[in-house]
Every structure is written in C-alpha cells, then in structure tokens.
Amino acid sequence: MKWLNRITGRAVAEIPSIVAFHEMDTWLEKVSELLFRGLGTNTMALYEEIADKREELKQYISELRNAEPKADMPAQITKIGLLSRDKMVKLLYSLCDKIVIPSQTDYKTVLDFHNMAYHSIESVLAKIFKNIYYVRSLFPDEVREVEANLNQLRDILDRLIAPMKGKETKVIDLSRVHALIQRIREQMAEIESEKEKIRAEEEERAAIKHEIELSERKLQVIEEEAEWKRLKEYEAELTAIGEELNTLRQDINNLFTPLQKPLSLLKKQDRTGRINLSPTVRTVITSILSSPVQALNEDIEDYLRSIRAVILEMDALKERTRDRALKWIDHLLNTDTDLSGIRARYELLSSMAEEVRSKLSALEITKEKEGLEHAITAARGQLTRLDDLIAKRRRGIESQEKELVANEILLQKELEEITGKRIEVKFE
C-alpha cells in the first residue's frame, strides 16, 4: 500500500513538489511529521520521564551499593553476593551514562535512541542474570527497586515509539532514503575532491610546460652562439669515431667467435678437475670469453700460442673440435690477420674519442646544454606522470558520476513512493 493512504488531502498538498537537495533533511522531517503524527508532541514529555527514571535509578543504585547484607546468610553466599553486587552496580552506572536524552524529536533520532537504550538495558540484565540470585538474597528490597525501575524504563521506551508501531515498513523506507541521501552527498564530495585535485594538477602541468618552453628557448639561444658550432662538430666527430669503434669491436668479437665453444669446454674441464690449466692460460681463456676486446692486448699472440699448446698436449677436446680450434688459432697468428694492427687501431680510436670528449667537456656550452636537456627530459617525464594521473582521475569521476546519476534517479523514485506524487529534486 502506498504511503498516499496515510498522507492524504491537504497534507499531501503541504509537501513541496520541488525541493533543493541541500534542504532534503528539512523536507524529510516535514514528511515524517505527517507520517508519525503526535511523535514530536509526545516525545519531549517521554524524554522527561526517561530522564526522571534515570535519576531515580541512580538513587536506587546508590542505595544498593551502600546497603548492608543480611546477617543470617551463609558466608559463601555473602561472599559471592557482595562480589556480584559490585559488578552489578558498575554495570548499572554504565547504563545510566549511556542513556543520554536526545535534543531532537524526529523519528530517526527517536528510533535510534530507543534501540540504543533498550539494547543497553537488555544487555545489562543478561549480564547480571547469572548471579542476581545471590545479590537478591543479600539485598532483596534494593534489587526489587532496581528491577522495577528497569521495567518502567522499558515501558516508557515502548511508549516512545508507539506512534511508529505498524509502520515499520515506512521506517525502513525512510531509513533507506536517508542512507541514499548520505551516499549521494558522499559521492558529490568525492567527485568535487577529485575535480579539485585535477585543477591543482593541471596548474602544476601548466607550470611544468612553461618551464619546458623556457628551457627550449634557452637551447635555441645557445644554438645561435659561435661555441655551438664547435660543439656540434665535436659531437659529429665523436659519433663517427663511436661508429667506427663499434664496427671494430664487432670485428674483434668475430675474430674470437670460432674459439668460444672449445675455450668454454676447456674452462669447464678445468673447473671439474679433468684438466689442469696454468693460472695464466685460465685468465686468458676467461678474458677472451668475457671480453675479446679487453683480451686483445700486446701479449695476445703469446696467449694464443699457450692455448694452442694446451690443446695439443691435453686430450681435452674431440678431434673435430680440436682441429677447428687449432686451425683458427693458426689463422689468428698468421701475419695477414694483423692482430697488432687491429689492437693499435682500436687504441687509437679510443684515444681519439677520449680526446674529443675532453674537448666537449671543456666547452661551457656543453654543461649548459646538458643541464637544459636533462631538465627538459625530467620535466617531460613529470608531464607524462601527471597526464596519466589526470586521465585516471577523470575515468574515476566519469564512473562516479554515472553512479551518482543513477542514485539521484532512484532517490526521486523513492520520494514519489513516499508522497504519492511527483517530486523534483534540484541537485545544483
């Protein structure tokens, strides 16, 4: 049955058909007053009764705490009863502290207060039930007064929510609306918070972009200076030397590639103890396997001869592998290979590269250029990070706004169900 059955005629007309979202609490309070007529009027009087009963309970608790036990009780009952009395007094005082009278009389406040107070009373009774016999045996009158007071408190609490009896479904629906309103408020706050963060991040992004533009303009100014021409010449020279070095390095690696397999086998057999290499040969083999360029020093010919002798003397390799290794070592030792010439060319190019690098580092413009380029690279990295973060936030906002719209539509449907007429909520 729609709530229209309870809110009829002039009462329905009194409910505004248009309500601003920020005024929803006031609007719902008016609706709840129409639903639970007499709630506000009776509540204040019942609040006063509860407050009086609470003070009365404190008095009874004090009397129980200070009472003397009956003298004719067995010692064991007296001992248990006194200990239980102390626990009971503590629990009852705690109950009094929890019963704080609200200042509001709306249905939600009344219902929450009723549930809290009623649950607290039931909880205290459950805790003292086990040993109340012993306390009652020692202090029958005082316990009787406390129990009567608690029962009276429960009766008043029942009268407090009497206007809501039979309307539990309405209470649940109103509670659901309150929860929905709270969720919408939270979503609005979350969306606004994310938008504020985006605004701050976009300001930061604009500042970083401005810094990049300034650095790029400074680079353009540098490029117009005479020293810039020398810098570019050195860089071009260094690039050319570097390319030749790379080619030569690859050629050197290729020279020793056919020896990789046999040398690896020799190293493995030396490690397992099958053969015993001299420290010098062991070092040379490791050097050739790890870095042929570094192995290509002035003693490389002698080292290759030492390796050749090891291969001949030790039965460590299969015949086919051994023959190939010996043939290639002979090829390297052949004067046509000119290992010393290759080594000399590599050393010359390395020296030339180092000299050009020294010239580059000596230019003031180099440090300035590198500093600007580093700053630009770092700033672009920051821009990428900010762009990713902003994009992520916008996707999150888009998702939240879809959920918000769905909740706003749901809220209007819930309100129309409550009132039985179309309700327009202004969310601006």
Same domain, yes or no: 369 and 235: yes
> Residues 152, 230: one domain?
no
Residues 293 and 361 in one domain: yes
| Model confidence band, residue 209 (pLDDT cutoffs 50, 70, 90) | very high
Mean pLDDT computed over 149-163:
90
pTM exceeds 0.75, yes or no: no
Residue 324 belongs to a domain: yes
Query: Is the same domain home to 270 and 370?
Result: yes
Query: Is 178 domain-assigned?
Result: no
Q: Is residue 181 part of a domain?
A: no
Per-residue pLDDT averaged across 80-100, rounded?
Answer: 93
Least confident of 2-11, 235-244, 308-317: 2-11
Give 272 or 395, the one with higher predicted confidence.
395
Same domain, 242 and 114: no
Overall average pLDDT of the 194-209 stretch: 95
Question: Is residue 11 scored above 60 in pLDDT?
Answer: no
Whether 368 and 244 share a structural domain: yes
Question: 115-123 contacts: CB < 8 A, separation 24 or more?
Answer: 117/50, 117/153, 117/157, 118/154, 118/157, 120/95, 121/95, 121/150, 121/153, 121/154, 121/157
Position 331 pLDDT exceeds 90: no
Higher pLDDT pick, 344 / 64 = 64
Average pLDDT, the chain: 85
pLDDT in tens, 38-80: 666 688 889 999 999 999 999 999 999 999 987 788 888 889 9
pLDDT of residue 54: 94
User: What is the C-alpha to C-alpha distance for residues 218 and 32, in angstroms, rounded to an integer?
Assistant: 70
CB atoms within 10 A of CB 332: 16
Q: Which residue has the higher pLDDT, 398 or 361?
A: 398
The CA-CA-CA angle for residues 261, 301, 317, to 5°, reads: 30
> Rounded mean pLDDT of 393-414?
92
Domain, as residue range, for 91: 37-166
Q: What is the pLDDT of residue 367?
A: 77
Average pLDDT for 88-93: 94
Q: Is the dihedral of CA 157, 162, 168, 174 positive or negative?
A: negative
**pLDDT value at residue 40:** 62
Helix (H) or strand (E) holding 309: helix 300-313
Residue ending a domain, choose from 125, 146, 166:
166
Domain count, the chain: 2
Give the pLDDT mean for 354-382. 84
- In sign, the C-alpha dihedral spanning 119, 120, 121, 126 is positive
Based on the fold, state whether residues 154 and 276 are members of the same structural domain: no
- In the block, which residue shows the tokens 């002698």? 302
Are residues 116 and 256 both part of a single domain? no
Q: What is the mean pLDDT of residues 117-126?
A: 93
